[in-house]
């Protein structure tokens, strides 16, 4: 690839191009199983499964699924939290050439129905506590093969479930029974081309049918290698000691790349957490002398480093590298992390770009508020928001478009949406950013989040940043709500720190000191909490929907 201006900012050991081996995802598991067969691949509530055992279990499950009739190209829903069964199923399904459809365990029967119909699911691998939703789904969508596990089945000393104890419907299968019924230990003899689809990642469709981004084996293997070469302090920890906190959900593209696949390729033990509960997290961290890599989201980082036990557990010395994604992180928190001596990076990517795209160097030049510079082999341009082709001058806002080996194949069975997002290989992200004189990129906002009030373009992220600076504010977000006079007006939703009190006027006058008059929120609503996605990203769209519903009732 040609030299790009941003290459000069790469850390000393990050290549400007990455040679990616032509292999399917499941063959990555052969690396640690061969090099460190007896090292723990997974640690699930203290129960360890070695890389050798994980490889054997996934081959066994693949052969069992093959015997049940699973064919190459079929869509298989994996509907599990972070637990050993997820990895066993993931590598098994991929080694048969079938396509993993990642499903959030919190989805309702209605949401699952949409996704099952869009992808024509032939198999669903699910778990005990969501069976009411699955039974409701099954009444409406006949999925030929349903396999159920109990999340705790792989904890040594815990009761192991059976089909009878879970009261499975007639014709449904029990995960462990399927495994036990298969004695074939040979790898499936199915040729999988890296250019073939591996995952369908649903992106948050705001209305109607959600879109399933199709990621190929090559996309995922490329992203795994890219995140490995970029994570330029992990190599300082020997393979024997490497581990990663596996709390980002595997069903989300971010967790899938930088936790699951990164860990396997880097021979790192995954310390699995099926849910985030801060006290549970602190107790877990107490059990480990060091954490090589902790990819997470801003809300969790804030809770973690401000926890009373943070000093007692010596987190500053324990955690080697923190990575934040999915939402902007306030400057005060970055300063706190750096004061602790922890290496930190913030990045940017989408489901459509296999989670990666742009990131700050880990050792090198970082800029406050910047998402950084493009990854190796990823080309990035900022183009005019209206015409979509002309590059904007330095410092002017433009839409981020990206091209390279991370970009999805398209949306599953959705040529119209694909044509809208992919043009001549360029992915139109819908994010608006500016580029500075060093080529560093600063996100201004989502195209669809932009507020147009009285003819002004207002980027709510800028207002969010100001609200975060208020000493009483724990979390805040702004949205544009319909306004008869201005077209739209700015409304702020604020969560105060425990024990604090503030008035609407106090928040508004604080913003007046720091923002142009047209950007200052006209309304402030105090809340106990804000709606968030599975990985802790604040969901503006939910707040917008609530406002629209309110308007509907009053009009």
The parent domain of residue 183 ranges over 44-192
| Per-residue pLDDT at 438 | 92
pLDDT at 552: 65
| Predicted local distance difference test score (pLDDT) of residue 205 | 43
Residues 129 and 259 in one domain: no
Q: Which of 411, 446, 481 is the last residue of a domain?
A: 446
DSSP 195-212: TSEEEEEEE--SSSSPEE
CATH number at residue 94: 3.40.50.980
Residues 488 and 506 in one domain: yes
- The answer to whether residues 344 and 459 belong to one domain is no
- Is residue 31 one of the residues assigned to a domain? no
Residues 173 and 247 in one domain: no
Same domain, 92 and 222: no
CA distance 363 to 346: 12
Residue 39 located in a structural domain: no
CB of 275 within 8 A of CB of 125? no
Consecutive H or E run containing 225: helix 217-230
Prediction pTM value: 0.84
Q: Could you tell me the CATH number of the domain that includes residue 456? A: 3.30.300.30
Same domain, 394 and 312: yes
Buried b (16+ CB within 10 A) or exposed e, 212-236: bbbbbbbbbbbbbbbbbbbbbbbee
**Does 166 share its domain with 273?**
no
For residues 94 and 115, the answer to whether their CB atoms sit within 8 Å is no
411 and 532 together in one domain: no
pLDDT per residue of the chain (555 residues) written in tens, 0 to 9: 578 999 999 999 999 999 999 999 999 999 999 999 999 999 999 999 999 999 999 999 999 999 999 999 999 999 999 999 999 999 999 999 999 999 989 888 888 998 999 999 999 999 999 999 999 999 999 899 999 999 999 999 988 999 999 999 999 999 999 999 898 989 999 999 999 999 999 985 434 467 899 999 999 999 999 999 997 688 889 999 999 999 999 999 999 999 999 999 999 999 999 988 888 899 999 999 999 999 988 778 888 888 888 888 988 889 999 888 766 677 778 888 888 888 888 888 999 999 999 999 998 898 888 899 999 999 999 999 888 889 999 999 999 999 999 999 999 999 998 998 999 999 999 888 999 999 999 988 766 777 877 666 677 877 888 898 899 999 899 998 887 667 788 999 999 999 999 999 999 999 988 887 878 999 999 999 998 876 677 888 888 888 877 766 654
Q: Is residue 28 part of a domain?
A: no
Instruction: Report the 10 Å Cβ neighbour count for 316.
Output: 14
Q: Do 312 and 378 have their domain in common? A: yes
Q: Which of 389, 412, 446 is the last residue of a domain?
A: 446
Of 192, 225, 257, the residue at which a domain comes to its end is 192
In terms of phi and psi (left: phi > 0; alpha: psi -120 to 50; beta: otherwise), the region of 157 is left
387 and 399 both lie in a single domain: yes
Task: Classify residue 24: in a domain, yes or no.
Answer: no
Instruction: Assess if residue 348 is contained within a domain.
Output: yes
Kindly state whether residues 241 and 364 are assigned to the same domain. Answer: yes
Does any domain span residue 323? yes
Does any domain span residue 197? Answer: no
pLDDT score of 324: 82
Domain total for the chain? Answer: 3
Same domain, 454 and 430: no
> Would 26 be classed as within a structural domain?
no
3-state helix, strand, coil in the chain (%, to 5): 35, 25, 40
Query: Residue 330's pLDDT is what?
Result: 72
CATH number at residue 415: 3.40.50.12780
């Amino acid at each position: 690839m040609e030299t790009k201006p941003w290459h000069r900012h790469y850390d000393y050991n990050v290549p400007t191009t990455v040679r990616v081996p032509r292999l399917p995802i499941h063959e990555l598991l052969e690396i640690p199983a061969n090099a460190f067969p007896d090292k723990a691949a997974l640690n699930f509530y203290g129960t360890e499964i070695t890389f050798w055992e994980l490889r054997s279990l996934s081959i066994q499950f693949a052969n069992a699924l093959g015997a049940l009739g699973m064919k190459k190209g079929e869509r298989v829903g994996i509907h599990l939290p972070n637990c050993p069964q997820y990895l066993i199923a993931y590598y098994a399904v991929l080694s048969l050439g079938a396509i993993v459809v990642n499903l959030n365990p919190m989805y309702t029967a209605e949401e699952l129905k949409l996704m099952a119909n869009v992808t024509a699911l032939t198999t669903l691998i699910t778990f005990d506590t969501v069976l009411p939703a699955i039974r409701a789904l099954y009444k409406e969508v006949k999925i030929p093969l349903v396999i159920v596990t109990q999340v705790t089945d792989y904890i040594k000393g815990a009761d192991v479930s059976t089909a009878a104890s879970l009261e499975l419907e007639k014709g449904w299968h029990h995960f462990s029974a399927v495994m036990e019924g298969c004695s074939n230990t040979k790898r499936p003899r199915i040729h999988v081309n890296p250019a073939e689809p591996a995952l369908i990642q649903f992106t948050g469709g705001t209305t109607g049918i959600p879109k399933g981004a199709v990621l190929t084996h090559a996309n995922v293997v490329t992203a795994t290698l890219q995140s490995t070469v970029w994570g330029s302090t992990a190599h300082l920890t020997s393979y024997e000691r490497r581990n990663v906190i596996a709390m980002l959900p595997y069903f989300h593209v971010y967790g899938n790349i930088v936790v699951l696949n990164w860990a396997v390729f880097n021979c790192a033990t995954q310390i699995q957490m099926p849910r985030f509960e801060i006290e549970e997290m602190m107790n877990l961290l107490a059990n480990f002398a060091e954490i090589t890599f902790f990819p997470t989201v801003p809300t969790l980082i804030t809770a973690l480093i401000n926890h009373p036990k943070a000093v007692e557990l010596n987190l500053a010395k324990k955690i080697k590298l923190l990575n934040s994604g999915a939402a902007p992180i306030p400057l005060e928190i970055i300063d706190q992390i750096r004061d602790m001596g922890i290496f930190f990076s913030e990045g940017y990517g989408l489901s459509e770009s296999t989670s990666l795209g742009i990131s700050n160097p880990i050792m090198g030049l970082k800029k406050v508020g910047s998402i950084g510079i493009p990854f190796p082999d990823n080309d990035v341009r900022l183009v005019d928001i209206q015409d979509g082709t002309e590059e904007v001058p330095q410092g002017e806002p433009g839409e981020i478009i990206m091209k390279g080996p991370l970009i999805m194949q398209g949306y599953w069975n959705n040529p119209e949406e694909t044509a809208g997002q992919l043009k001549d290989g360029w992915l139109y992200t819908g994010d608006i950013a500016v580029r500075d004189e060093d080529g560093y990129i600063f996100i201004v906002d989502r195209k669809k989040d932009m507020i147009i009030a009285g003819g002004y373009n207002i980027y709510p992220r800028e207002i969010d940043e100001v609200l975060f600076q208020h000493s009483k504010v724990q979390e805040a977000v702004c949205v544009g709500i319909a306004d008869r006079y201005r077209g739209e007006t700015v409304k702020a939703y604020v969560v105060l720190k425990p024990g604090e009190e503030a008035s609407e006027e106090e928040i508004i006058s604080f913003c007046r000191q720091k923002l142009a008059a047209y950007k200052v929120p006209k309304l402030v609503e105090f809340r106990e909490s804000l709606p968030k996605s599975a990985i802790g990203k604040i969901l503006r769209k939910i707040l917008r929907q609530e406002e629209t519903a309110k308007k509907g009732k009053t009009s």
